Amino acid sequence: MASSRVPQQLFLQGVAAVYTFAFASLYTQIPGLYGPEGILPARRTLRPQGKGRWQQLWETPTLLWEAPRLGLDTAQGLELLTLLGTVLALGALLLSSLRHSFVYLLLWIAYLSACQVGQVFLYFQWDSLLLETGFLATLVAPLKKPSKHKGGRAGALCHESLPFWLVRWLLFRLMFASGVVKLTSRCPAWWGLTALTYHYETQCLPTPAAWFAHHLPVWLHKLSVVATFLIEIAVPPLFFAPVRRLRLTAFYAQVLLQVLIIVTGNYNFFNLLTLVLTTSLLDDRHLSAEPGLRCHKKVPTSWPRALLTMLSLLLELTAYGLLAYGTVHYFGLEVDWQQHIIVSKTTFTFHQFSQWLKTVTLPTVWLGAASLTCELLIALWRWIQVRGWLRKFFASIQLSILGAATVALFLISLVPYSYVESGTHGRLWTGAHRLYSSVEHLQLTSSYGLFRRMTGLGGRPEVVLEGSYDGHHWTEIEFMYKPGNVSRPPPFLIPHQPRLDWQMWFAALGPHTHSPWFTSLVLRLLQGKEPVIRLVQHHVAKYPFHERPPTYLRAQRYKYWFSKPGETSQWWHRQWVEEFFPSVSLGDPGLETLLRQFGLQDRSPLRARSPSNALAQTLNWVRTQLSPLEPPILLWGLLGAVVTVRVVQTLLAPCPLQSSKLSREEKRKQTPKKDPRAASEQAAPNSNSSDSGAPRRKK
């Protein structure tokens, strides 16, 4: 198999980039979400319960337990963690020397610490995915730079592919489960292939391109759903194909899907992280990382190699044929030549799909086990080729540790993966269940399943807040990112995630009692807390009640639809549905009851205090310097800075061809010159007398 050193470096750089965006995006929202005057103050989540220090840290693994020792409260400790995480991730992105296993371990610990106090605002699947990917990066990243010596290089190669295989297994679990849950949920939109006729306008934060995608022909939407099922369910088994061209085909299919999602939806760093995972399908040969790999000389091949080539080609054609036949057969694809469209429909039932899922879920586990066994055998073969007993000894230690960690993580991941089919979950080895339950709180692995059900089939539900001074004249409070003003185009925010706007989308799907944090949001706006106001409108002057907090607040539920082309200059249409949250004011008995019911009351009044130490003062100064920048601009500025630095690094780096020429010139200078006469005298006695008078042949 071709080596994967360059894809591993791309993976590590990608993980560092995603960490940068995740930490920086979260940092901008900490005061409003988790500060003392925030919606869900972080200080409430960490309450000592009389347990020992290490037991407390093990049960709730977060470094924020140590914030008081630094003279910081929990929110300030979270700010410090996210700032350090951003800086450290930027360093790993720009400097190869910082792509070290210890650095990625620190990044993982920092993000895990943040998730422990993040509450509902960090309960997203991409946060779990980042934690799992980040932990895998600690295994993929080297402990030290591999030696250029041949033996040292072989020692590094013997185990490098093992942890990286887990990245491919994670990508398989993510995509396969995301495709399967769409059908196991019995959602009529997915089964009727009409999900994308609703998705673009009902997703959380659409982009401007979503408006145009929404108005594509219905037959093309249905065909796109078929392609989604193909890419998410049928293609992932090709991740483990022995033919590299099948793996590359799967790679480009996944990239196409993720790019289209990025263009039409603001899913923060999630799709970027999925693209990072796809690097596990690449190799050095495809990326031209090894010299001469693109220039193949025509040399005679032996019959075993020719037979192997023919078998690979036959397997490849068989795979493509099965994919094409299965797609046409199970989705009834037909060409309507009169209307110039492709007709599609689901030709299988839910019972048939359930039986198929029972049949294939366990074999996919065995497929993963077989692929992992192959990787272990390859690593063992490379270890055998290591020269020198000392290098072989250290290589055996590394191989044993990483091999055991890889097998253990694979077994742990089988438990959440088996959730896609209950029968398989019950048939797993009990040791895997015990191992998973012992480390479940560390979030080393998770279950996935995106877009399980399509919401908003009758229109996009949206909550609109309104404020008033007299209880009769109401003014709408417009958020920065979520739909509100029907004339405002949807924004493009990637890689930033406005977590309050995301939760407002979830809140609109049910009654306000299903979203307890919403009551706290109403309270903070009635109190006029600036950190929370900045989550709604970053520039406080644009907030309609910036001079004086509203006396009354209420919320209405609307249905939103995309406007039609050429109809109006507006992007949305909307219709009032019902009252979402009743009109309340400070001291209102109804509001107090809700706060007490959800445990959101401030038990002790907050006392204004000045920063007590230099670290707290430094954090406040950094916050003051960065607060004028809107979060998307801050993240795009970081991205621009990274691109600029990388361009400068590329321009200043010596050309490989030039450096190789210089090295050859240095070798020539170091080689002592020989006297040509001495060389001829040495060669004369060795010459054959019978050939001495023969003329030389012309070349």
Indicate whether 263 and 132 sit together in one domain: no
Indicate the pLDDT class of residue 695, thresholds 50, 70 and 90: very low
Distance between CA atoms of 580 and 206, rounded to whole angstroms?
23
| pLDDT tens-place string over residues 253-305 | 999 999 999 999 999 999 999 999 999 999 988 887 554 555 445 555 677 88
Please give the angle made by the CA atoms of 332, 362 and 330, to the nearest 5 degrees. 0
What H or E segment, with its residue span, contains residue 459?
Answer: none
Residues 282 and 251 sit within 8 Å (Cβ to Cβ)? yes
216-257 pLDDT per residue, tens? 999 999 999 999 999 999 999 999 999 999 999 999 999 999
For position 612, what pLDDT does the model report? 67
Confidence label for 561 from pLDDT (cuts 50, 70 and 90): very high
Contact 483, 498 (CB under 8 A): no
How confident is residue 47, by pLDDT bands cut at 50, 70 and 90?
confident
- Laid out side by side, the sheet with 552-562 consists of 475-477, 460-468, 552-562, 572-584
For range 593-598, the mean pLDDT:
92
Domain-located, residue 362: no
Both 138 and 238 in a single domain? no
Query: How much of the chain, in percent, has pLDDT values that exceed 70?
Result: 88
Q: 518 is in which domain, residue-wise?
A: 460-600+628-634
Q: What is the mean predicted confidence (pLDDT) over 94-120?
A: 95
Same domain membership, residue 220 and residue 111? no
Q: In terms of C-beta density within 10 A (0-12 exposed, 13-18 middle, 19 or more buried), how is residue 345 classed?
A: middle
Count of residues in the chain = 699
Same domain, 134 and 247: no
Residue 5 and residue 70 share a domain: yes
C-alpha to C-alpha distance for 472 and 275, rounded to whole angstroms: 51
What pLDDT shows up at residue 537?
94
Residues 101 and 222 in one domain: no
Total domains, the chain: 3
Residues 424-477 have pLDDT tens digits of: 888 888 999 999 999 999 999 999 988 888 988 889 999 999 999 999 999 999
Same-domain status, 202 and 334:
yes
Flag whether pLDDT at 3 surpasses 90: no
Is 444 contained in some domain? no
Q: For 654-664, b where at least 16 C-beta lie within 10 A, e where not — what string? A: eeeeeeeeeee
Global pTM reads 0.90
CB 584 within 8 A of CB 591: yes
Is residue 480 situated within a structural domain?
A: yes
- Please say which residue of 145, 162, 178 terminates a domain: 145
Same-domain pairing of 199 and 278: yes
Give residue 75's Cα distance to chain centre. 25
- pLDDT confidence tier of residue 664, bands split at 50, 70 and 90: low
Q: Does one domain contain both 31 and 125?
A: yes
DSSP 342: E
* pLDDT over 50 (residue 679): no
Contacts of 634 (CB under 8 A, 6+ apart): 24, 28, 626
Average pLDDT on 317-346 reads 94
* 127 in any annotated domain: yes
pLDDT (average), residues 399-426: 92
pLDDT at 301: 65
Of 281-285, 547-551, 610-614, the least confident: 610-614
Mean pLDDT along residues 105-132: 95
Domain boundary among the residues 608, 634, 660 is at 634
Same domain for 248 and 141, yes or no, is no
> Exposed e or buried b for every residue in 88-97, given b needs 16+ CB within 10 A?
bbbebbbeee
- Whether residue 665 is contained in a domain is answered as no
Q: Is residue 608 part of a domain?
A: no
Domain final position from 634, 656, 683:
634
Say if 323 falls within a structural domain: yes
Over residues 585-609, mean pLDDT: 80
Q: 499-517: buried (b, 16+ CB within 10 Å) or exposed (e) per residue?
A: bbbbbbbebbeeebeebbb
User: Of the ranges 29-38, 288-297, 662-671, which is most confident?
Assistant: 29-38
Regarding whether 210 and 80 lie in a shared domain, the answer is no
- Same structural domain, 474 and 579: yes
Residue 510 within any structural domain of the chain: yes
